[in-house]
Structure 1
Amino acid sequence: MRTVIGGIDFGTSNSTVGLAQDERAGLVPLEGDETTLPSAIFFSFDGDRARFGREAITNYADGVEGRLMRALKSVLGSSLVNEKTRIQKRSMAFIDIVGLFIAELKRRTEAFAEAPFESAVLGRPVHFVDDDAHADRKAQDELEKAARAQGFTDIAFQYEPIAAALDYEQAVRGEETVLIVDMGGGTSDFSIVRVSPERARAADRKDDILANRGVHIGGTDFDRLVSIAHVMPELGYLTPTKDGKRNLPAGYFIDLATWHRINLLYTPKAMNDLRQIRFEAARPDLVERMITIVDHRLGHALAGTVEQAKIALTDADETVIAMPYDIATPRLTRRDFDQTIAQAVQRVAATVSATIEDAGLSAGDITAVFLTGGSTAIPAARQAILQLVPQARVVDGDRFGSVGMGLALEARRKFG
C-alpha cells in the first residue's frame, strides 16, 4: 500500500503539515484551501463533538455552548500536561487533548493524500522549557508519545529553525551563512547554518549547523504582557484590599491573561475564590467585572481581542482593546506596546547575540537573515534583531509555512 511521509509543525498558534514530493515539498490544505490550521479545539456540549481550527474559534465566537482550548503546545513539559480539565461530564488530561489535535492533523492529511500517513518528522523548539534539560526532554517525550498513540510508527524530531533553513536553502544559488529567525506563538528560536545547493545534497548536515539557541518567548507572551499591563487593571489587578494593607492576589488575573491557563478559571473553586477576593477588595466593582467574564466563559474572547490589538499595531500607530459589557475600552499606542514588551524583546535580542557568539562569528559574517513565524511581523522585535546584523540581506519567508516545508524535506531524507 502506498504511504506518504512528511513533517508536522505543531505550533502554539498555528499548525501545518508538509509532504515530501520528489525533490521538493508541499503543504497540505488543512482547512478548505488554507494550509494552516489554528491550534485550537472546541468541545461542543451539543453532541459532545470536537471541532478544530477556524471552525473551533468560530463556534466559540458565535456563542455555541462548549469549551475552547488554545495554545496547547505550551503545556508540554509543564506541570499541566497530565492534569485533567472538565469537559461537560468527563475529564480529559491536557496531553490527551494534544493527541486529539495531532490525530486530526493526521486524518486531514490522509484524506488529502488518499494514503496512510505514518512516518513523520515533528518540529520542536530549541527549548520547550528554558534552563531545564530534564523538563525539555520530557516535553519531547510527551509529544512523541502523543503522536505514537495516534498511529505514527516512524517518528523523528528536528529543530524548527533548522527546518526553516532547509526550506530557505531551496532558493539559494551559492554558499551563504544564514541566521534563521523563527519567532512563533510560544518560542523564539535561532540557528546559524551554512547553506548552498551543494550542501543541500549531503546526507549529514551536522557540520553545517554552527549554532542553535532559543528562548521561551513568543506571540502569546506578548499577548499576556499587554493583557496584564492594560486589561487586567480594569478587572481589579494590582488594586488594594479594603484594609489597604496589600494588593489583591495576582494569580487568577495572570491565568486570565495566559492563553493556556484560561480554562483553569472555569472551576467552582476558582469562582469561590474570586467571590472571596471581591469581598476583600477596595474596588469590588472591578472584581465583579472579572467574575462576570469568568462566569460567562469569555476568557478566550478577551485574550483574542488583545491578540487582535497586537496584530493591528503591526501597521497602525494606535488601536483599542475591545472589552465586554460596560468596561472601558483601553487605547493602546505602538509606543505603549513597545514599552510593555521591551524586556521580553531584549531577551530575544540577547539570545540572537549569544547565537552569533556560539557560532564563533561576528555580525559581519552573517550574509542573510531568514525570517519566519508570525511574531517576526512585530516591529519592535524585528528591528531589535535586524540591527544586530545590519549588513545582512533580509529575506522574509512564509511566516506560517516555512517550518512545515523544511520538516517535509527532512522527512524525505530520513524516511524516503
Structure 2
Amino acid sequence: MFCGFDYGTSNCALGVMKSGVPELLRLEGEHKYLPSTVYAMHRDLITEAVALGLSADQREAYLQARQAILTRARRFRVGEGYESDDTVVFYGREAFSEYYQFPEDGYFVKSPKSFLGGSGLRAEHIAFFEDIVALMMLNVKRRSEVSTGQELTHTVIGRPVNFQGLDAQESNAQALDVLSVAAKRAGFKSVEFQYEPIAAGLDFERNLSKDQTVLVVDIGGGTSDCAMVRMGPSYRDKLDRSEDFLAYTGERVGGNDLDIQLAGRELMPVFGMGAELKTGLPMPTQLYWNAVTTNDVSAQGIFASLDSKVQMEQLRMDMVHPKLMDRFILMREHKHNFHVVRNAEEAKIGLSEQMSYQVKLDYIEPELNVTIERDAFTRAVESPLGKMVRLMKSAIAEAGERPDVIYITGGSAKSPAVQSAIRAEIGDIPVLDGDHFGSVASGLTVWAQRLFG
C-alpha cells in the first residue's frame, strides 16, 4: 500500500487514498497530526528502539554498527531497573507531557528535521539523526498500519526546497540521505520525494475548475517555501509536471523562528533580558537568544556549557534585580527552555484567534504570567516575516509573471500578521487559505498515487 508522508518540522501527518480522495489517518487518539517530538528516558534508548523495530534483513548490520550504543542502553536499563516491556520512549503529545514532568531526567528531541543538512556534522551526529528520524517514522508507520490494517510499502515524503541556507546542494544531499536511510529502516521499500510547496499545490489543484498560475506559499515549522505553478484541469493529470513549475524559492526560516523571536522579545525579559546592571553597561543578550534558539545545536550546546553558567552567576551579582537571573538560572538547570519556546508557539497560535494571550510560567515561579498582545507579536516577528515575504517576491520575479492567486498553507500561515504582510507587500492578488496542517500530506498522497497507484 502506498502513502504520502509529511515528516514535518512541527508535526507529522500521513495520508492514504480512499475512494480516490486523500485521507489523513489519525495518529494519536483523534488527532491527525503528531507533534515531531520524542522523549526517551536515556538518549541511547532511541537507538535501542530502532534496533527493536527493524526487519530481520536489516537488523544484523545495524546491531554491528551500533554495538557500543546498544551496550550502553542495556547497562542503563539494568542500572535503573527497567524491564524489557517498560515504556521508556514517548512520542508526540505524550513526549511533551513527559518532558514537562521530568525535564532534566530524560532526553527530549523536538523538530529534528530542522537540524538535517547542518554543516559541520560529524559521522556520529548524522548516524544519531538517522536513528531519531527512523524511530519517528517507525512510530508513525506502525500507528498508520494499525489504522489501515495493511502494510505501507511505498511512500512519497515531503522535502523543503532547501533544508539549510548555506551550501544548499551539499546540505540537501545530506538531509535527503538521512531521510532515505531512515525511511528504509522504518520498513518502506520504495521512497520518493516531492517538494512541499508542490505537494500543497497538488492538493489545491484537485478542486480548481479553471487553469491558473498559482503562487503556493508553504510556511512550515523550519522552512518557508514558494512555488509558482501553472495549475488546473489542463495540467493535473500529467505525470511530468516539470514544465508547469515556473519557479521555486526556499529558505530556512519558518514557524519555529516566529516562536523563537516571540520567546526572546516577549518572554525573556522576565528572566532578565534587557535588565538594569549596576555598572550601567547593557545586559548581554546572546545568553538569552542561545536559550530560546532551540533549533540550533550549537546554541543549545553553548547554553548548556559551564561558561554560560559562570557568566550567569557573574551577571547576577551585577544586576539591580538579581531575582530575574535566579529565574533564568532555574530555567537552565531544569532544562525548561524548550517549555518556554513551546509556550511562545502556543501564544502564536492563540493570537491567530484573539487579540491577547496570557502565557503561564508557573513551572518557573508560582503565579508568573506574561500577557502578549497581537501587536507585540507582529513587532516581534518582523525580521523572519520579512524574509518570508522576500521569498514570495523572488519566486514571482523568477517566474517573470504575476500569479492569479496566492495559496498559503502551513501552521503559521494562519497568523493574521503573516496574511496582512502578504497582502501589504505582494499587492492586490487574491489570497486563499488551505488546510494549514494537512495540505502537504494530502498532496503527497496524490503524487504517491500517480507514482505507485
Q: Does the alignment reach a TM-score above 0.5? A: yes
TM normalised by structure 1 equals: 0.87
Rounded Cα–Cα distance in structure 2 between residues aligned with 1:8 and 1:109: 11
Rounded Cα–Cα distance in structure 1 between residues aligned with 2:158 and 2:393: 24
Rounded Cα–Cα distance in structure 2 between residues aligned with 1:84 and 1:238: 38
Q: Deviations over 1:335-375 (max 9, x none)?
A: 2211111122111111111111111103xxx2222221111
Rounded Cα–Cα distance in structure 2 between residues aligned with 1:191 and 1:206: 12
Asked if structure 2 preserves the Cα contact closer than 8 Å seen for 1:15 and 1:39, the reply is yes
Aligned residue for 1:299? Answer: 337
Asked if structure 2 preserves the Cα contact closer than 8 Å seen for 1:69 and 1:260, the reply is no
Rounded Cα–Cα distance in structure 2 between residues aligned with 1:290 and 1:93: 30
Q: Please state if 1:28 is matched with 2:25.
A: yes
Asked if structure 1 preserves the Cα contact closer than 8 Å seen for 2:159 and 2:195, the reply is yes
What percentage of aligned pairs have identical amino acids?
32
Aligned residue for 1:6? Answer: 3
Q: Deviations over 1:13-38 (max 9, x none)?
A: 11101113463322111112221111
The Cα of 1:254 is off from its aligned counterpart by 2.4
Q: What secondary structure sits across from 1:117 in the alignment? A: coil
Q: Please state if 1:60 is matched with 2:57.
A: no
Q: What secondary structure sits across from 1:121 in the alignment? A: strand
Q: Deviations over 1:199-235 (max 9, x none)?
A: 1111211111111111222111011111222222332
Aligned residue for 1:200? Answer: 236
Task: Tell me the number of residue pairs that the alignment of Structure 1 and Structure 2 aligns.
Answer: 403
Q: Match for 2:390 among 346, 350, 362?
A: 350
Asked if structure 2 preserves the Cα contact closer than 8 Å seen for 1:8 and 1:122, the reply is yes
* Mapping for residues 248-267 of structure 1, pairs under 5 Å: 248=284, 250-251=286-287, 253-261=288-296
Asked if structure 1 preserves the Cα contact closer than 8 Å seen for 2:312 and 2:329, the reply is no
* Mapping for residues 203-282 of structure 1, pairs under 5 Å: 203-237=239-273, 247-248=283-284, 250-251=286-287, 253-261=288-296, 270=305, 273-281=308-316, 282=318
The Cα of 1:389 is off from its aligned counterpart by 4.8
Q: What secondary structure sits across from 1:161 in the alignment? A: helix
* Mapping for residues 135-154 of structure 1, pairs under 5 Å: 135-154=171-190
- Unaligned 5+ residue runs, structure 2? 43-81
TM normalised by structure 2 equals: 0.81
- Root-mean-square deviation over aligned CA pairs: 2.8
Q: 1:242 to 1:277 in 2, by over 3 A?
A: farther
Aligned residue for 2:326? Answer: 288
Bigger Cα displacement from structure 2, 367-376 vs 263-272: 263-272
Q: Please state if 1:127 is matched with 2:166.
A: no
Q: Deviations over 1:27-66 (max 9, x none)?
A: 1111122211111112247746111112222333355853
Rounded Cα–Cα distance in structure 1 between residues aligned with 2:148 and 2:396: 40
Q: What secondary structure sits across from 2:184 in the alignment? A: helix
Opposite residue 103 of structure 1, the aligned amino acid is L
- Unaligned 5+ residue runs, structure 1? 86-91
Asked if structure 2 preserves the Cα contact closer than 8 Å seen for 1:374 and 1:399, the reply is yes
Rounded Cα–Cα distance in structure 2 between residues aligned with 1:15 and 1:110: 15
Rounded Cα–Cα distance in structure 2 between residues aligned with 1:298 and 1:305: 11
Q: What secondary structure sits across from 2:236 in the alignment? A: helix
Rounded Cα–Cα distance in structure 2 between residues aligned with 1:359 and 1:12: 28
Rounded Cα–Cα distance in structure 2 between residues aligned with 1:328 and 1:24: 48
Q: Deviations over 1:285-335 (max 9, x none)?
A: 433222212222322222222222222221322233322205853332222
Aligned residue for 2:79? Answer: none
Rounded Cα–Cα distance in structure 2 between residues aligned with 1:31 and 1:121: 21
Q: Please state if 1:37 is matched with 2:34.
A: yes
Q: Please state if 1:50 is matched with 2:85.
A: no
Bigger Cα displacement from structure 2, 397-406 vs 46-55: 46-55
Q: What secondary structure sits across from 2:28 in the alignment? A: coil
Asked if structure 2 preserves the Cα contact closer than 8 Å seen for 1:262 and 1:300, the reply is no
Rounded Cα–Cα distance in structure 2 between residues aligned with 1:198 and 1:140: 32
Q: Match for 2:378 among 329, 335, 338?
A: 338
Bigger Cα displacement from structure 2, 344-353 vs 284-293: 284-293
